[in-house]
Amino acid sequence: MRNESAGRRFLSASITDYNDAIVVFPKNLIANAFGFKKYQWQYATTEQCKAVDAKALFNH
């Protein structure tokens, strides 16, 4: 479980670093020239958050 939380922290820090970098001079000039956009977090939908029925997965 510790590796998962470390991975999430690394991803979060990386996204924050990226988003910060593309808005600060002079990196913003390069980012705009190449069309870099801010990364938007992807959240699970309500449907995706529901519990999975494991029996249904294995009873095909």
* Sequential pLDDT tens for the chain (60 residues): 567 788 888 988 999 999 999 999 999 999 999 999 999 887 778 887 787 788 887 876
Closest by Cα among 7, 5, 10, 12 to 39:
12
Closest by Cα among 13, 19, 10, 17 to 39:
19
- Beta strand segments in the chain, E: none
Q: pLDDT value at position 19?
A: 95
Count of Cβ atoms closer than 10 Å to residue 22 Cβ:
17
